[in-house]
Amino acid sequence: MSSIERNKIERNPQNRTHQSPTNLTHLDNQGQAQMVDVSAKQTTLRQAIAAGTIQMHPETLAAIESGNAPKGDVIGTARLAGIMAAKQTSSLIPLCHPLPLKKIEVTIKPDATLPGYRIQAMVKTKSETGVEMEALTAVSIAALTLYDMAKALEKSMKIGDIQLIEKIGGKSGHWQQSAKKLVD
């Protein structure tokens, strides 16, 4: 079954078959969305690093860096928002497991070559499932908050390059993006 056919079936309940393809773990036998049962998995250390960017005019970057943004501490607020967002990921993304997060770091560094900021989040836990979505959510919300805090200076800022950089733990083990981390 092609992905186009599968999408048509998933969007139209009347067309659903009673067997879900075996590689789609979030669908039950009736094609209904379901949370994956991870109770049989071993609890292991899980870590994920995600990164992204926000581009802006050099003048906007200079204003933020000098502390002259109308809303106050742009970077501190965005960093805190990223941390809070990682903790709320299961409330934001359907079928995502709530996890007992042990460590969250959000780093936001200026980069004059963009110009703008490079954002990175590292999330760690001991659990039966990974924290990739928590790291990606942290980066996304940090970028959106940075935009919100600085939009009075510039509305044309661009958020992008949000991606998983590395994951550690679980059945698939260690995986790392071939490119280096966005924030060192």
Q: What is the pLDDT of residues 101-125, one digit of tens each?
A: 999 999 999 999 999 999 999 999 9
List Cα–Cα distances, 95 to 34, 39, 64, 146, in angstroms: 7, 15, 37, 27
Q: What local confidence, expressed as pLDDT, does residue 24 receive?
A: 60
The predicted-structure confidence for 85-101, as pLDDT tens digits, reads as follows 999 999 998 888 899 99
Q: How many CA atoms lie within 13 A of 62 on its CB side?
A: 3
Q: Point out which residues pair with 103 in neighbouring strands.
A: 124
Q: Which of 11-20, 26-35, 87-96 has the highest mean pLDDT?
A: 87-96
37 is catalytic: no
- Tokens representing residue 9 in the block: 């079936």
Q: What is the mean pLDDT of residues 7-26?
A: 50
Q: Choose the catalytic residue: 37, 73, 111, 148.
A: 148
Q: In this structure, are residues 166 and 176 in contact, taking their beta carbons and an 8 Å threshold?
A: yes
Q: In this structure, are residues 151 and 134 in contact, taking their beta carbons and an 8 Å threshold?
A: no
CATH fold for the domain made of 44-176: Alpha-Beta Plaits (3.30.70)
C-alpha gyration radius of the chain: 19
Provide the mean pLDDT of the chain.
Answer: 86
Query: Is the pLDDT confidence value at 61 over 90?
Result: yes
In which band, very low, low, confident or very high, does the pLDDT at 22 lie, cut at 50, 70 and 90? low
Taking the CA atoms of residue 45, residue 165, residue 113 and residue 161 in that order, the dihedral angle to the nearest 10 degrees is -120
In which band, very low, low, confident or very high, does the pLDDT at 14 lie, cut at 50, 70 and 90? very low
| DSSP helix/strand/coil, 86 | helix
Query: In percent, how much of the chain has pLDDT > 90?
Result: 65
In which band, very low, low, confident or very high, does the pLDDT at 17 lie, cut at 50, 70 and 90? very low
Nearest to 159 by CA among 126, 127, 114, 122: 114
In which band, very low, low, confident or very high, does the pLDDT at 181 lie, cut at 50, 70 and 90? low
The predicted-structure confidence for 138-154, as pLDDT tens digits, reads as follows 999 999 999 999 999 99
The whole-angstrom separation of Cα 18 and Cα 87 is: 36
Q: In this structure, are residues 87 and 100 in contact, taking their beta carbons and an 8 Å threshold?
A: no
Nearest to 85 by CA among 29, 32, 142: 142
Query: 6 — phi, psi (to 5°)?
Result: -60, -45
Nearest to 124 by CA among 44, 180, 37: 44
Q: What local confidence, expressed as pLDDT, does residue 13 receive?
A: 47
Is the whole-model pTM more than 0.85?
Answer: no
Q: What local confidence, expressed as pLDDT, does residue 131 receive?
A: 95
The whole-angstrom separation of Cα 89 and Cα 36 is: 16
Query: Is the pLDDT confidence value at 27 over 70?
Result: no
Any idea where the domains of the chain sit in the sequence?
44-176
The predicted-structure confidence for 68-83, as pLDDT tens digits, reads as follows 999 999 999 999 999 9
What is the residue type of 74? V
